[in-house]
């Protein structure tokens, strides 16, 4: 046996499910948008850290190289006989700027004539890049291992020493080449800049920084275990085209990291050495706040869904209780008990149901015989008094037989009012019902006693007209358009001037077609009229 559920439960369950789904969808949409923005913010934050590192490194190199280039223009350096003064000048620069591990001046053949702490004095460095490139003009070389100075300079850490070369030519007033002023910058200054960038960060959860050579992707600065290794990341090649960006990368250790990139593209008149600064953070730590947000959105969405479900349950009670009381009264009447249908106000549909049932019961009770009343109700529309669908079927039983005997055709017109819903919504169903009655009266003027106007429901009507075998398309159109013109005439109801249109679909029945098929064709033609602009007629042509 099929079990039924109450309207209240039905309404609560289905609307509750709908609210939960809507809450979930909204939570997902809003959450995804927030998550995308947070991911973008996280990526841009790492990108910005990388940019600050690259910018500070370029600014530092610009400053140090500028000091060497400025020093090269001093007249003191042209007097190769005053070695002590030159030596003192170089020592002062090294003391004031400890990043200079070594500064030296060569003659025009590449022999060091003066240097800090006398290191490499008298040594020929003409085959070293610092002299070869400096002889040509201003030179700034990339990071490299110490060759000549590795054993001559103190190295407390014991780690391999790395330098950045800066050199420039020395010329006299006649632009004659006199020698090269060269300097080795200790790579330790990059560590100091890294510390200055990272130290102010509030959240440094496993954030690591690397400096990579753009020439061969070798790590110049970073995790000690990774220095000197080649880094294989898709983002490095992208950085060469795009100065800074971020992405999620899988590193050589197989783990995913949120990674920010910046290309060091110089500072002021210093063009830079093309170092790529990379900042990474494990994806788990980088997106931890995003996961918290996802859980929060899910929790809030679930709470809202529960609250809405409770509200719906209460609303369902307000709707279902009056209907339940009306149903109970109707059941009492069914079993023969005297009962008055309750009348309600406030909810239009329930009010109409209550009024309709009260009128129906009163009408039945006042009828002379229950059989006559029920038969009338069965064949005629309760509102308009014209035949309904059952009445149409009864009429067609003898109308088709008569048409066959008289060799006539039947013209079927399916009608649908245009703009009727707007009348209902604007003036209420009471005015709409009165309008349907007036429309029924207008349509009845177009048929004879042997023909029929029927209301199928709502604002749908069917007209069946008897026609001769020679009826033309022009005659059919003229007849249908006269109906449209009549329906378009404004109707005054209770002081309201109401206007509705009419769309018509037509088809002709003859003996080789079924009534069901021809009604279906007329309805399809009606759909075409609606689809093509309404307030017009379309015929389905079965004969020419």
The CATH number of the domain holding residue 429 is 3.30.70.270
Residues 466 and 536 occupy one common structural domain:
yes
Question: What is the pLDDT at residue 300?
Answer: 76
Same structural domain, 182 and 195? no
Domain edge (last residue) among 288, 303, 337: 288
Higher pLDDT, 22 or 104: 104
Q: What is the CATH number of the domain that holds 116?
A: 3.30.450.20
Half-sphere exposure for 80 (CA within 13 Å, toward CB): 17
Q: Is residue 432 part of a domain?
A: yes
Q: Cα separation of 220 and 271, whole Å? A: 19
241: pLDDT strictly greater than 90: no
| Strand pairing report for 537-540 and 452-457 | unpaired
In a domain, 377, yes or no: yes
Enter the DSSP assignment of 174: T
**How many Cβ atoms from other residues are within 10 Å of residue 114's Cβ?**
25
In a domain, 342, yes or no: no
Residues 475 and 488 in one domain: yes
Q: How far apart are the first and last CA of the chain?
A: 55
Residue % of the chain over a pLDDT of 90: 20
In this prediction, residue 193 carries a pLDDT of 85
Phi (first) and psi of residue 331, to 5 degrees = -65, -40
Whether 271 is covered by a domain: the verdict is yes
Residue labelled with tokens 């042997």: 450
176 within domain boundaries: yes
Residues 213, 180 share a domain: no
Q: Which pLDDT score is estimated for 544?
A: 35
Domain shared by 277 and 394, yes or no: no
Host domain of residue 500: 370-540
**Domain-located, residue 321:** no
What are the two backbone dihedrals, phi and then psi, of residue 97, each rounded to the nearest 5 degrees?
-130, 90
If you average pLDDT over residues 89-113, what whole number do you get?
A: 89
Give CA–CA dist 414/164, Å, rounded: 93
pLDDT at residue 204, rounded to an integer:
61
Token pair for residue 364?
A: 């039945």
Query: Same domain for 451 and 411?
Result: yes
Is 295 inside any structural domain? Answer: no
Q: Which of 68-82, 141-155, 371-385, 477-491 is the most confident on average?
A: 477-491
Verify that 143 and 181 share a domain, yes or no: yes
Give the alpha-carbon dihedral of 242, 244, 248, 251, to 10 degrees.
90
- Among 139, 169, 186, the domain boundary falls at 186
Residue at which a domain ends, from 242, 260, 288? 288
pLDDT for res 375: 61
Residue 41 lies in a domain: no
Q: By the 8 A CB rule, do 188 and 214 touch?
A: no
Please name the residues in contact with 538: beta carbons below 8 A apart, sequence gap of 6 or more: 504, 505, 506, 525, 526, 528, 529, 532
Inter-residue contact 410 to 464 (CB < 8 Å): yes
pLDDT value, residue 159: 60
Contact of 431 with 494, CB cutoff 8 Å: yes
Dmax (CA) for the chain in angstroms is 143
- Which of residues 202 and 249 earns the better pLDDT score? 249
- 399 and 494 share a domain? yes
Same domain, 221 and 89: no
What pLDDT is attached to residue 326? 73
How far CA 130 is from CA of 106, 135, 270, 378, in Å, comes to 11, 8, 18, 111
Torsion of CA 150, 154, 156, 159, to 10 degrees: -10
Task: For residues 121 and 206, state if they share a domain.
Answer: no
Residues 490 and 382 both lie in one domain:
yes
248 and 168 in one domain? no
Burial code of 19-41, b = ≥16 C-beta within 10 A, e = fewer? bbeebeeebeeebeeebeeebee
Q: Could you tell me the pLDDT band of residue 368, with boundaries at 50, 70 and 90?
A: very low
What are the residue ranges of helices labelled H in 406-514? 420-427, 429-444, 473-488
Phi, psi of 111 (to 5 degrees): -90, 130
**Please, which residues have CB within 8 angstroms of residue 450's CB and are 6 or more apart in sequence?**
399, 402, 466
Average pLDDT on 178-197 reads 86
| pTM score, whole prediction | 0.51
Q: What is the tally of structural domains in the chain? A: 3
């Amino acid at each position: 046996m099929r079990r039924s559920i109450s309207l209240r439960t039905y309404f609560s369950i289905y609307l509750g499910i709908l609210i939960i789904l809507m809450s979930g969808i909204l939570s997902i949409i809003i959450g995804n948008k927030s998550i995308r923005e947070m991911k973008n913010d996280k990526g841009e934050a790492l990108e910005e850290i990388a940019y600050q590192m690259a910018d500070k490194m370029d600014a530092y190199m610009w400053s140090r190289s500028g000091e060497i280039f400025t020093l090269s223009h001093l007249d003191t350096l042209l007097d190769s006989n005053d070695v002590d003064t030159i030596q003192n000048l170089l020592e002062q620069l090294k003391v004031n700027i400890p990043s200079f591990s070594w500064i030296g001046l060569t003659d025009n053949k590449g022999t060091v004539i003066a240097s800090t702490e006398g290191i490499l004095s008298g040594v020929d460095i003409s085959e070293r890049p610092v002299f070869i490139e400096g002889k040509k003009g201003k030179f700034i070389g990339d990071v490299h291992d110490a060759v000549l100075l590795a054993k001559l300079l103190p190295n407390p850490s014991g780690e391999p020493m790395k330098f950045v070369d800066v050199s420039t030519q020395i010329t006299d007033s006649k632009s004659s080449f006199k020698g090269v002023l060269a300097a080795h910058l200790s790579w330790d200054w990059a560590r100091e800049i890294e510390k200055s960038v990272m130290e102010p960060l509030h959240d440094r959860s496993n954030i690591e920084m690397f400096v990579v050579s753009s020439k061969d992707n070798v790590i110049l600065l970073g995790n000690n275990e990774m220095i000197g290794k080649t880094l294989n990341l898709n983002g490095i090649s992208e950085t060469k085209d795009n100065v800074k960006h971020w992405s999620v990368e899988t590193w050589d250790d197989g783990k995913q990291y949120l990674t920010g990139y910046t290309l060091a593209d110089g500072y002021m008149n210093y063009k830079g050495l093309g170092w790529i600064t990379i900042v990474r953070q494990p994806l788990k730590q980088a997106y931890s706040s995003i996961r918290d947000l996802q859980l929060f959105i899910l929790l809030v969405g679930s709470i809202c869904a529960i609250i809405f479900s409770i509200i719906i349950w209460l609303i369902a009670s307000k709707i279902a209780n009056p209907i339940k009381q009306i149903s109970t009264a109707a059941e009492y009447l069914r079993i023969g008990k005297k009962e008055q249908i309750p009348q309600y106000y406030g909810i239009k549909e329930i009010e109409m149901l209550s009024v309709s049932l009260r009128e129906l019961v009163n009408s039945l009770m006042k009828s002379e015989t229950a059989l006559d009343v029920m038969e009338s109700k069965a064949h005629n529309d309760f509102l308009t008094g014209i035949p309904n669908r059952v009445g149409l079927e009864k009429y067609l039983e003898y109308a088709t037989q008569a048409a066959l005997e008289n060799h006539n055709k039947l013209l079927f017109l399916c009608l649908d009012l245009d703009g009727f819903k707007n009348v209902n919504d604007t003036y209420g169903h009471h005015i709409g019902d009165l309008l349907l009655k007036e429309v029924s009266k207008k349509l009845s003027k177009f048929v004879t006693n042997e023909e029929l106007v029927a209301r199928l429901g709502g604002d749908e009507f069917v007209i069946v007209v008897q026609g001769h075998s020679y009826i033309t398309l022009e005659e059919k159109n003229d007849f249908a358009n006269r109906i449209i013109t009549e329906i378009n005439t404004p109707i005054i109801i209770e002081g309201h001037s109401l206007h509705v249109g009419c769309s018509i679909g037509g088809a002709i029945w003859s003996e080789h077609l079924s009534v069901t098929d021809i009604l279906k064709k007329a309805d399809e033609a009606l759909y075409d009229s609606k689809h093509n602009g309404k307030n017009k007629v379309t015929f389905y042509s079965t004969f020419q």
